[in-house]
Chain A
Amino acid sequence: MKKLINDPNDVVVEALLGIEAAHPDLQVDHANKIIHRGDAPKSGKVGLISGGGSGHEPLHGGFVGLGMLDAACAGEVFTSPVPDQMLAATKLVDGGAGVLHIVKNYTGDVMNFEMAAEMAAAETGAQVVSVVTDDDVAVQDSTWTAGRRGVGVTVLLEKIAGAAAEEGRDLGAVADIARKVNAQGRSMGVALTSCTVPAAGKPTFELGEDEMELGVGIHGEPGRQRLPLAPAKEIAEMLLEPILADLPFSSGDQVIAFVNGLGGTPLIELYVMYNEVDKILSKHGVSVARSLVGSYITSLEMAGSSVTLLKADDELLSLWDAPVRTPALRWGI
């Protein structure tokens, strides 16, 4: 294992210290591992919190700030935070207008957020609404499974719902917008390498030099299938065809197209992917209204990429364009 760390057990704690030192707008509650806006709670504004296992940076802590999240709870690497953290964050950001919990669909995350919401209701009477993201088309959806994983759409949702809250919309309206983003967004990813959880010290799975894993999540979970490595144009087809067919996206739709790096892939390769994605979308008559290219929801140092398409209308685009000031996304200010 070759990592820029001191002690594998201190990675999350020391990263939080670094975030606090680098971003004076933000504050960190180290006991509860919460990154929050320095001005929280904002009276009358719906509070947005999210959280999950660490190792997906900049998600979620890098999206805390004006126009996006009010607080993010950091779990151990790839392990859901515990309810006490979300309860503390809920109290911290509740400015009287209620709190939205943004939860990626993983069994542990869903249950821990659920318990936190119940505890918040019992202890403070805070109004909490949860929205679960489940946009990964690589997982077959069924009432008999844990359902689809929450991946790339989470980033777009945090931005758009954050803008709605900043505008002063009420909790019901912010939750509706969040659900709409999840309902209209679809993602799929591919891994070129595995990743190494610091405490484990060795790669989560083995992948040969000439192999790729199609349909991965963000924790090195198994994908849909293992295939020989292919050129970017073929990989883009393999990711986009299932995404386009699933919603389905059709000719005349406009989308926000998000090409994401999984942590170990350089931006130049993401732009190669974006070019292929753009060509395929043109072929299908889908027009790209906005784009986002970069590593925003990652799986430690995994090489690979995910593509997310969000079917957008004028309302979603105007919220997407609204000012945002966070460590990882910053525009309009």
Chain B
Amino acid sequence: MTDDVTTAAFEAWVRRFAGLIADERDHLTELDSAIGDADHGTNMDRGMKAAVAAMEELGPVGAGPLLTKVGMTLVSTVGGASGPLYGTLFLRMGTALGDVPEAAPEQVGVALRAGLEGVVARGKAQAEDKTMYDALAPAVDALEAGLQDGLGLEDALGRARAAAEAGRDATVPMLARKGRASYLGERSVGHQDPGATSVTLLVAAAAETLA
């Protein structure tokens, strides 16, 4: 029995993420109304629906090209800041995976790390800026640590999910230092970050589908 992740599993990940975004669309927009411009759920839902449609038009390809296609579609359809950030996340994961039929668990870690680095390069966010970084970074750290500790992919992704959720919850008391929420200063305190919330759905979807 192997933990290697097939392209079909990556496709299932994207679909599950799209499903969770659709379910949580109104909640994400509500979180964004409080400290942003009230469009995160709508924009992400439009983008992920387009990404799923684009995947369906794609012939048989490896995991890398699949995620690259998803990234390019998000860049073209989401707009605002989320488009470039989620687009870059998927593009970098796609590049890191390359055109392989199956990815070893370590490669999943490498891909997510590359995606995180892409998000940082694009958005210049650091820890505790109250952004998606605050949920994604601890999740990637937990996944890598779990795999190094000899856990299987399923358990390591379970830890990543718990770390993302804890990171998401920790954004509530933070003062926003990036994006439109930063104009609010002190008034951004007490609200959960919409980007940290949506990226936690991405990690949760990975835990459900990749292993």
Binding site for B on A (CB under 8 A): 75-76, 78-84, 106-108, 111-112, 114-115, 139, 144-146, 149, 200, 217, 219, 221-222
Number of interface residues of B (CB under 8 A): 27
CB–CB B37/A219 < 8 A: yes
Name B's interface SS: helix
| B177 contacts A145, C-beta separation under 8 Å | yes
Residue of A nearest to B183 (CB): A221
Is B93 at the interface (CB under 8 A from chain A)? Answer: no
Chain B positions within 8 Å of A106 at CB level = 180
The 5 residue pairs across chains A and B that have the minimum distance between CB atoms: A111-B84, A108-B80, A145-B182, A108-B81, A107-B81
Q: Shortest Cβ distance from B183 into chain A, in angstroms?
A: 5
With an 8 A cutoff between CB atoms, is B98 at the interface? Answer: no
- Tell me how many residue pairs across A and B have CB atoms closer than 8 Å: 71
Across the interface, name the chain A residue whose C-beta is closest to B87: A115
| Contact (Cβ within 8 A) A83 B84 | yes
Residues of B within 8 A of A82 (CB): 75-79, 83
Q: Which residues from chain B sit less than 8 Å from chain A, CB to CB?
A: 37-39, 43, 75-81, 83-85, 87-88, 122-123, 129, 177-180, 182-184, 187
Return 6 A-B CB contacts under 8 Å, by A number.
A82-B77, A84-B75, A115-B84, A144-B129, A144-B177, A222-B187
Q: How far is the CA of A219 from the CA of B182 in the complex (A)?
A: 15
Q: Could you tell me the distance between the alpha carbons of A330 and B78 in the complex, rounded to whole angstroms?
A: 36
B79-A107 in contact (CB<8A):
no
Do residues A79 and B76 form an inter-chain contact, with CB atoms below 8 A?
no
B121–chain A nearest beta-carbon distance, Å: 10
B76 smallest CB distance to A (angstroms): 5
Q: Which residues of A contact B37 (CB under 8 A)?
A: 78, 219
How distant is A135 from chain B, measured CB to nearest CB, in Å? 15
Q: Which residue of A lies closest to B88 (CB)?
A: A115
Determine which of A81, A149, A217 lies in contact with B79 in the assembled complex, contact meaning CB atoms within 8 Å. Answer: A81
**Contact assessment for B79 and A111 in the assembled complex, using a CB-CB cutoff below 8 Å:** no
Q: Which of B75, B76, B77 has the most CB of A within 10 A?
A: B75
